[in-house]
């Protein structure tokens, strides 16, 4: 059977704080639904448990390759920090893994195939730039607001990931006027203020009696004062961080995804308002903020872009 261009797949892997997911993605950025598998991760998992979850989804995904199709390689998007040159990851939300050789695990399951590793925020940016909200935009940041806050930068159509692969780590930009402690060791980071769990924690500290982001969303919609303040606080931190990033690299567009970005129907509008409120500079306020166009598929599509579109990657991280 002849292998057509559309029958050549990348095995995409997305590693996060609660799960690892894998799927086959074709050259057009379409996820093959029957190849999508996930396994749990989590703060309490041991190193062996995490590694077995990764191996399990890779095996299941590879076994789902259609007859006559070609597997080109694998792309991994991981929570960070990471080291691209060493193929290692140290996700803040997975304490059992520090300087863990994740790329080597994937290579052992896929002998003879190339495996590329980048931060999950960078993969989200690649996905949006490839087939999402940022098509044709030269200066762009893709970001996620979820269990954590991550981001990735596309400048002059090139992913800017830096010498270690951690460029664009938006979640650890500090927000003025905030002193919330962050898992990175800093204070006032966007992630420490704006992520779903941290926003829930803040609301609870103000007397709110709920326990989940879903409950916070319902109470926000119902007009609960604490819930409204908590969501606005999250959006304000994201907006101020975007303003700072735009001051540095003159962004045209920011696309926001992630589960917590849906906590309120007007969350994106609140982020945009925070940018305008913070600065009078037109070159900053001109940045547009939009919702992700890719929903939950973005991280996998971006990981697949590492295989299908290596020309979009810089070489600095590989050469370090």
d(CA 150, CA 121): 5
Say what the pLDDT of residue 3 is: 52
Q: Can you spell out the DSSP letters for 198-229?
A: HHHHHHHHTT----SHHHHHHHHHTT-HHHHH
d(CA 176, CA 167): 21
Give the residue ranges of the chain where pLDDT is below 50. 1-2, 316, 318-320
State the virtual CA torsion across 238, 239, 245, 249 in degrees, nearest 10: 140
Say what the pLDDT of residue 320 is: 35
310 in any annotated domain? no
69 in any annotated domain? yes
Say what the pLDDT of residue 280 is: 85
pLDDT tens-digit series, residues 192-209: 999 999 999 999 999 999
State the virtual CA torsion across 279, 268, 254, 286 in degrees, nearest 10: -40
Q: Domain residues for 280?
A: 133-293
319 in any annotated domain? no
299 in any annotated domain? no
Q: Is 59 in the same domain as 112?
A: yes
Q: Is 63 in the same domain as 156?
A: no
Q: How many domains does the chain have?
A: 2
Q: Is 104 in the same domain as 181?
A: no
Q: CATH no. for residue 190?
A: 3.30.420.40
Q: Is 87 in the same domain as 192?
A: no
Paired sense of beta strands 8-15 and 19-25, if any: antiparallel
Average pLDDT, the chain: 93
Residue 36 and residue 21 in contact, taking contact as beta carbons nearer than 8 Å: yes
Assigned token pair, 36: 């999508």
Q: Is 140 in the same domain as 244?
A: yes
315 in any annotated domain? no
The partner residues of 181 in beta bridges, in order of sequence, read 187
318 in any annotated domain? no
Q: Which residue has the tokens 């769990």?
A: 197
Residue 230 and residue 199 in contact, taking contact as beta carbons nearer than 8 Å: yes
d(CA 43, CA 235): 26
Say what the pLDDT of residue 6 is: 74
Q: Is 172 in the same domain as 262?
A: yes
Say what the pLDDT of residue 313 is: 81
302 in any annotated domain? no
Taking the whole predicted model, whether its pTM rises above 0.95 is answered as no
Given 119, 150, 168, the domain boundary residue is 119
Given 119, 149, 184, the domain boundary residue is 119
Q: Is 75 in the same domain as 23?
A: yes
Residue 213 and residue 18 in contact, taking contact as beta carbons nearer than 8 Å: no
Say what the pLDDT of residue 311 is: 83
Given 119, 154, 172, the domain boundary residue is 119
Residue 95 and residue 122 in contact, taking contact as beta carbons nearer than 8 Å: no
Q: Is 158 in the same domain as 256?
A: yes
Say what the pLDDT of residue 296 is: 81
Q: Is 138 in the same domain as 275?
A: yes
Q: Is 275 in the same domain as 147?
A: yes
d(CA 224, CA 82): 39
41 in any annotated domain? yes
Q: Is 35 in the same domain as 59?
A: yes
Distance of CA 192 to the CA centre of its chain: 16
Say what the pLDDT of residue 52 is: 98
Q: Is 115 in the same domain as 23?
A: yes
Backbone angles phi, psi at 308, to 5 degrees: -75, -25
**Percent of the chain, pLDDT > 70?**
96
């Amino acid at each position: 059977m002849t292998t057509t261009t559309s029958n050549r797949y990348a095995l995409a892997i997305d590693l996060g704080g609660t799960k690892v997911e894998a799927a086959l993605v074709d050259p057009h950025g379409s996820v093959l639904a029957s190849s999508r598998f996930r396994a749990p991760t989590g703060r309490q998992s041991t190193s062996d448990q995490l590694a077995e979850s990764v191996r399990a989804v890779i095996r299941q995904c590879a076994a789902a390759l259609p007859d006559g199709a070609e597997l080109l390689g694998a792309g991994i998007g991981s929570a960070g920090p990471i080291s691209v040159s060493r193929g290692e990851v140290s996700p803040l939300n997975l304490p059992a893994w520090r300087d863990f050789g994740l790329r080597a695990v994937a290579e052992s399951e896929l002998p003879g195939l190339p495996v590329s590793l980048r931060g999950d925020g960078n993969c989200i940016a690649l996905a949006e730039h490839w087939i999402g909200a940022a098509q044709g935009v030269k200066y762009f940041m893709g970001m996620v607001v979820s269990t954590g806050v991550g981001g990735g930068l596309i400048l002059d159509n090139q992913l800017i990931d830096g010498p270690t692969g951690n460029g664009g780590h938006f979640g650890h930009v500090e927000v003025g006027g905030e002193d919330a402690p962050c898992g990175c060791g800093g204070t006032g980071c966007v992630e420490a203020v704006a992520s779903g769990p941290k926003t829930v924690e803040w609301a609870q500290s103000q007397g709110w009696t709920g326990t989940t982001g879903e409950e916070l969303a319902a109470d926000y919609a119902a007009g609960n004062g604490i819930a409204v303040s908590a969501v606005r606080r999250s959006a304000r931190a994201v907006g101020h961080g975007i303003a700072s990033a735009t001051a540095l690299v003159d962004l045209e567009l920011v696309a926001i995804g992630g589960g917590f970005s849906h906590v309120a129907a007007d969350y994106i509008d609140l982020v945009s308002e925070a940018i305008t409120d913070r600065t009078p500079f037109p070159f900053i306020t001109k940045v547009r903020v939009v919702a992700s166009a890719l929903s939950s598929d973005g991280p996998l599509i971006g990981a697949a872009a590492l295989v299908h579109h290596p020309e979009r990657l810089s070489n600095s991280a590989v050469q370090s």
